[in-house]
């Protein structure tokens, strides 16, 4: 199945604060009682929004115009529910930028540890649906959040070939920050090969050959 190659986009951005935003909050379990993904956008962050009485970022009409959401660290943790990705995408999000966590090493000769910005299952679900997840350093994250706060001027240009996010009109002119993502996800989005089902099927009888060597399948 042909899927669209990611084309560089320039979109407005808004900030959703809070580390460790889990998928139970993104789409509470009661909305998983469904057999399609249709309509999930109505209930994205349902409980968080109810508690903030209209002040939640997802209840701000100007944010609905934004295609980029800036999150903090460990976005999408918890349940594997792909409904979370579906709800965000259908609401209008095309790109999520989140913050890595950098843990300095005790040993000065060793590099610091960088913890990815997104929970792994969430990121996999996102790529499988063409939703772009980008990691930025804590320092660059601060810049982006400041830019997003400048309401009328918070455009960001996303370039996946160069792995850059360019903030237009940040104090004086343009600020460009680097972003990262696993190379496999980047490849799939750039080449339009994020249809993993089709890719898997292309292996043909290599699948059966692999199965034939599994002792537990021979024993059944």
Partner 1 sequence: MSTGTLFDKVWKLHTVRVLPNGQTQLFVGLHLIHEVTSPQAFQMIRERGLKVRYPERTFATVDHIVPTEKPSLVRPFKDGLAEQMLVTLQKNCNEFDIKLFDLGDRGQGIVHVIGPELGLTQSGMVIACGDSHTSTHGAFGSIAFGIGTTQVAGVLASQCLLVQKPKVRRIVVSGTTPDGVYAKDIILAIIQKLGVKGGIGFAYEYAGSAIEALDMEGRMTLCNMSIEGGATCGYVNPDDTTFDYVCDDRQFVPKGGPLRQLIDWWETLRTEADAEFDDVVEIDGSSLQPMVTWGTNPGQSIGINEKIPNDADGAALAYMGFKAGQQIAGTKVDVAFIGSCTNGRLSDLREAAEIVKKYGLKVAPCVKALVVPGSQMVREQAIAERLDEVFIHAGFEWREAGCSMCLAMNPDKLQGNQLCASTSNRNFKGRQGSPTGRTLLMSPASVVASAAKGEVASVSQL
Residues at the site binding partner 1, with contacts judged by CB under 8 A: 1, 18, 20, 22, 24-25, 28-30, 32-37, 47-48, 50-51, 73-74, 77-83, 85, 101, 115-116, 119-121, 124-125, 128-129, 182-184, 187-188, 196-197, 199-201, 203, 206-207, 210-211, 213-217, 219-220
Contact by Cβ (8 Å): 163, 186:
yes
Q: How far is the CB of 186 from partner 1 (least distance, A)?
A: 8
Shorter beta-carbon distance to partner 1: residue 50 or 150: 50
CB of 20 to partner 1, least distance (A): 5
> Least distance from C-beta 188 to partner 1, angstroms?
7
CB of residue 108 to partner 1, shortest distance in Å: 18
Instruction: Give least dist CB 146 to partner 1, A.
Output: 22
CB count in 10 Å sphere of residue 18: 13
Picking from 124, 133, 56, 63, the residue whose alpha carbon sits closest to that of residue 99 is 133
Shorter beta-carbon distance to partner 1: residue 17 or 178:
17
Pick the closer one to partner 1 by CB: 128 or 146: 128
Which residue, 48 or 156, has its beta carbon nearer to partner 1? 48
Shortest distance, CB of residue 43 to partner 1, whole angstroms? 12
Contacts of 64 (CB under 8 A, 6+ apart): 91, 92
* Phi, psi values for residue 7, rounded to 5°: -105, 140
User: How is residue 204 annotated by DSSP?
Assistant: T
Residue 62, phi then psi, degrees to nearest 5 = -70, -25
Looking at the Cβ atoms of 36 and 152, the one nearer to partner 1 is: 36
Strands 95-99 and 164-167: unpaired
Residue with tokens 């994250």: 141
Say if CB 174 and CB 27 are below 8 A apart.
no
Q: What's the CA gap between 145 and 39, in Å, rounded?
A: 29
CB of 72 or CB of 140, closer to partner 1: 72
């Amino acid at each position: 199945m042909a899927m669209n190659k990611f084309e560089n986009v320039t979109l407005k951005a808004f900030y959703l604060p809070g580390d460790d935003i889990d998928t139970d909050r993104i789409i509470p379990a009661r909305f998983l009682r469904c057999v399609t993904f249709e309509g999930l956008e109505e209930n994205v962050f349902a409980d968080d929004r109810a508690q903030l009485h209209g002040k939640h970022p997802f209840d701000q009409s100007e944010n609905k115009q934004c295609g980029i959401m800036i999150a903090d660290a460990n976005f999408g943790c918890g349940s594997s529910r792909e409904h979370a990705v579906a709800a965000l995408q259908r609401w209008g999000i095309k790109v999520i930028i989140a913050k890595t966590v950098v843990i300095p090493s005790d040993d000065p000769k060793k590099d610091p540890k960088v913890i990815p910005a997104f929970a792994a299952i969430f990121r996999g679900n996102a790529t499988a649906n063409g939703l772009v997840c980008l990691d930025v350093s804590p320092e660059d994250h601060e810049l982006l959040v400041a830019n997003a706060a400048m309401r009328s001027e918070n455009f960001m240009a996303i370039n996946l070939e160069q792995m850059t996010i360019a903030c237009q009109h940040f104090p004086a002119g343009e600020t460009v920050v680097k972003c990262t993502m696993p190379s496999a996800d980047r490849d799939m989005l750039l080449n339009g090969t994020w249809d993993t089902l089709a890719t898997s099927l292309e292996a043909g009888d290599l699948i059966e050959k692999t199965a034939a060597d599994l002792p537990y399948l021979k024993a059944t």
